[in-house]
Each structure stands twice: as C-alpha cells, then as structure tokens.
Amino acid sequence: MPLTPMDIHNKEFSRSFRGYDEDEVDQFLDEVVQDFEKLYKENLELKERIGLLKEQLEYYKSMESTLKETLVTAQKTAEEVTASAHKNAELIIKEAEQKAHKIIQDANEQVVKIQMEYEETKKQMQIFKTRFKTLLQEYLQIIEKEAELPSVEVEDQTSA
C-alpha cells in the first residue's frame, strides 16, 4: 500500500537515550509532509488528467476510424457514380448513333421514294405530252381536211 502524507504525519518513533533531537525531526517531518502532500496531490491530478486524455484519445481514435470508413465509402460511391456516368454516357452515345442512322436511313429511303415519284411524274408528263401532241395533230389533220373540202353554198330558204 502506498505511503500517504497522513502516514508520514502520524508516524511515531520510539525514544531512545541517544536519539535525535525531537523538535528537529518533527520540523523535518513537517517539511517532508508538505512536500509529499504537494506531490501526492499533483500525482492524483496528473492521474486524473491522464484518464481524461485517454478518454479524449479514444474519442479521437473512434472519430478517425469513422472518418476513414466515411472516406472509403465516399471513394467507393464516387467510383460507382463515375462508372455509372460513363455507362450512361456510352448508352446515350449509342442511342444517338442509332437515331442518327435511323434518320439517315429514313432520309435515304425518302430520297429514293421522291426520285421514283419524280421519274414516274416525268414519265406521266412525257405520256401526256405525247398524247396531247397526237391529239393536236389529229385536230390539225381534221382542220386541214375541212379546209380541202369544196365549199357548199347554202341556199337561202327565206326567199322561196
């Protein structure tokens, strides 16, 4: 068991014939008690402070551990978000390329359709021109034939 200031203060020495001066010993013991008491209190305060510092150290270690876990989680989340963004970007690009190909394909089909319609309209116009020309030629021939016929005089029926 450790020695306390009270143990020193209450210590009684046996007396012998040739002993030390009792007043000197008491005075010295009083000084020792004061110094020892001061050291004892300081030791208790330091032990208490060490206990508090240990608690704080444990708190900070716990906080450090939590922060490390949070950082690891944040890094994983950032990597997942980045990977997801890349996948989404690739998907968007593929969709855009597919839409572009579809638009180009539709446009090409429409161009072919319009060209076919143009060619068909051109044929129909040529047929119309030919028929109209033929019709005009027939009417011209009829007109020319009538011009070749002798004129017949029509009698005036009002005088008879």
- 52-105 per-position pLDDT tens digit: 999 999 999 999 999 999 999 999 999 999 999 999 999 999 999 999 999 999
Contact 33, 8 (CB under 8 A): yes
Contact 33, 9 (CB under 8 A): yes
Q: Look up the domain containing 30 and give its range.
A: 5-107
Residue 122 main-chain phi, psi, to 5 deg: -60, -45
Maximal C-alpha separation, the chain? 208
Flag whether 59 is in a domain: yes
Q: DSSP assignment, residue 157?
A: T
Flag whether 126 is in a domain: no
Token pair in block for residue 60: 């900070």
Residue 115 CA to residue 117 CA, distance in Å, equals: 5
Instruction: Give me the pLDDT at residue 134, please.
Output: 96
Token pair in block for residue 103: 């638009």
Flag whether 113 is in a domain: no
- 99-126 per-position pLDDT tens digit: 999 999 999 999 999 999 999 999 999 9
Flag whether 11 is in a domain: yes
Flag whether 158 is in a domain: no
- 16-63 per-position pLDDT tens digit: 667 777 787 778 888 888 888 898 899 999 999 999 999 999 999 999
Flag whether 86 is in a domain: yes
User: Structurally, how many domains does the chain consist of?
Assistant: 1
Flag whether 127 is in a domain: no
